[in-house]
Structure 1
């Protein structure tokens, strides 16, 4: 029995990056031997075991054969005869197909170290094209290592293009796709993920609503970058720069989808794009079964982001409607995330990245003013039921009028 550290742990050590998760592969062992040593089985489709003390995953060396469509369409074979090289060749990228023993001796049959030095994301074998999930994975690695200068090898990009055109991407489950998308959006350069998907044709298959934004012009006075797709990438880049959470990043990606529906004769104006985009945002949300908080914020940002930009001009009644839409009294964090998404949208414009965004503090102050209205005095006056609701609304409107007057002084 021989045990090797494989994949990401080896790659990140060689890159000088922190190693978090460690995967192990066991060569020359049987299931019975693993159980005898106290390992606990967890793999349903192939033999994976948890170490009795560390809890880390140990997988028996295995080969795989394509047997159906999609990510799950594989038959696995594990036995003591499977070599380390045979196990490594089934992996996606050369930089993920290295192994090392407990003496740090490197096994690198597919020149992963050479590709690390060349900053290339290159597939290990033609079998790469058998798994459509790898299109998303490679784009995610491109986003993760963009700051180190990594790019996708041309021949790998061509395989990704073939996969995108094959119809295999439609076989991916919403859960698997979302796992890759959400991880990619949380990388330091998530815009690179979208760029790579677009370059290989996967974006128009997975998110045609986002792909449709490229080539759509906006008024240059507000958007020096002009192109709506380029603007979306810039907003995503700003969201990562400001360490925004996944909810905000997802909303940033989808906020302008309505502009893709504007007839060409109306360009570069996009009247009512906020309302038009809601059905598209809803469709993308449902396609990937995004978590509820991501879905809700994306819809709210899509509908109200221009309200955010015009916050200082809004009438107190419109401001109150905005605050009510976000349920700021029970869900203050959601409104804070909306403000963040609006600010990222404002900063995601060429040459205007450092521009101040006074709307943020103004909206926070408005929310504070509305929340300051006490309900108890109204109860003591005998208000109840619908009348109480109307009385609260009147008082909040009064508070917002006073706030607006103070802010304009």
Structure 2
């Protein structure tokens, strides 16, 4: 039984990139042996185990053969005679097919180190085309390491285009597509991911609500990311993901947004924020900032029961570097109208159904005073 560190931990350490997790491959072992050593198996049919203390993943060396359509249509062979080289051969990219033994010695049968040095994302072998999920993974890697100068090898890019043309991406579940998108959002590289997806003609399969993606759009998002970094804006990581998502999908229509929710089943925070951002853009484009219209906007975004949605919307505006003065005005109007309470209206003599009208009248007056 031999244990090797594999995948992202080896790759990222070699390019001085932060290592997030450690995955291991175990050669010459069996499920029974792993269980007897205290490892906990993940799933019933997949030879992956969690270390009893560190909880890192340890996978038995395995070979795979295609047995059906899509990224789940594989039969795994994890016999203890499977070699490390055979296990590494099934991996997607050469830079992910480097292993390290317990003494720190690297095992690199497919020249992953050379591709790391040359900043190339190159597929290991023909088995790449059997798994459509790898199209999205390579696009995500290209986005993540773009700032380091990585590009997709021409032969790999051509293979990805062929896979898209053959309809391979149509076998992926929408939930799996969203998971890849979410990983890009966590590193604020979704715009670069979209550029690759557009280059390989895969937008129709990944995000059909976007008919195209241009370099100008990429530059716009890159400018927003640089603005946040330069100004050292205090935006937490979860909020930044939502901001990045909304600016990337700003061009989609309300009808498209509904379709997006139904197909990708995106979290409500992302969907509601994008909807509010588009609603605000429509409001700003109309340039009718009367107290009545401002109150109508506040009602539409449910400022009274969901103030956190409005606060998140303000963060999106900061990230998008647009209408900063208007954003401040809206924030002032929101604070003034929120200060109006039902108790104040009742004290003025309003009763029953008239209380709602009284609240609206008082809020309009508060907004008008703020604007004057």
**Normalising by structure 1, what TM-score?**
0.84
CA-based RMSD of the aligned residues comes to 1.9
Map 1:2-401; keep pairs closer than 5 Å. Answer: 2-210=2-210, 212-214=211-213, 229-241=214-226, 242=228, 245-257=240-252, 277-308=253-284, 314-345=289-320, 357-381=324-348, 383-401=350-368
User: Aligned-pair distance for 1:363?
Assistant: 1.7
Determine the C-alpha separation between the residues in 2 that align with 1:170 and 1:65.
20
User: Aligned-pair distance for 1:381?
Assistant: 4.3
2:232 aligned residue: none
1:265 aligned residue: none
Q: Please give the per-residue CA displacement for 1:137-181, whole angstroms capped at 9, x wherever unaligned.
A: 111111111110111111111111011111111111111110001
Determine the C-alpha separation between the residues in 1 that align with 2:351 and 2:99.
70
| Consecutive unaligned residues in structure 1, runs of 5 or more | 215-228, 258-276, 348-355
User: Aligned-pair distance for 1:190?
Assistant: 2.7
Contact 1:254 1:281 in 2 (8 A): no
Match of 2:257, SS? helix
Determine the C-alpha separation between the residues in 2 that align with 1:388 and 1:399.
16
| Consecutive unaligned residues in structure 2, runs of 5 or more | 229-234
Match of 2:324, SS? coil
User: Aligned-pair distance for 1:46?
Assistant: 1.2
Contact 2:198 2:212 in 1 (8 A): no
Determine the C-alpha separation between the residues in 1 that align with 2:306 and 2:220.
24
Match of 1:64, SS? strand
Contact 1:239 1:248 in 2 (8 A): no
1:218 aligned residue: none
Q: How many residues align?
A: 362
Q: Please give the per-residue CA displacement for 1:59-113, whole angstroms capped at 9, x wherever unaligned.
A: 1111111111112111111111011111111111111111101111001111111
2:369 aligned residue: 402
Determine the C-alpha separation between the residues in 1 that align with 2:303 and 2:289.
17
Q: Please give the per-residue CA displacement for 1:108-143, whole angstroms capped at 9, x wherever unaligned.
A: 111111111101111111111111111111111111
| Greater mean deviation of Cα atoms: 68-77 or 299-308 | 299-308
Q: Please give the per-residue CA displacement for 1:238-264, whole angstroms capped at 9, x wherever unaligned.
A: 45443652222222222212xxxxxxx
User: Aligned-pair distance for 1:44?
Assistant: 3.0
**Normalising by structure 2, what TM-score?**
0.91
User: Aligned-pair distance for 1:188?
Assistant: 3.9
Determine the C-alpha separation between the residues in 1 that align with 2:348 and 2:207.
54
Match of 1:4, SS? strand
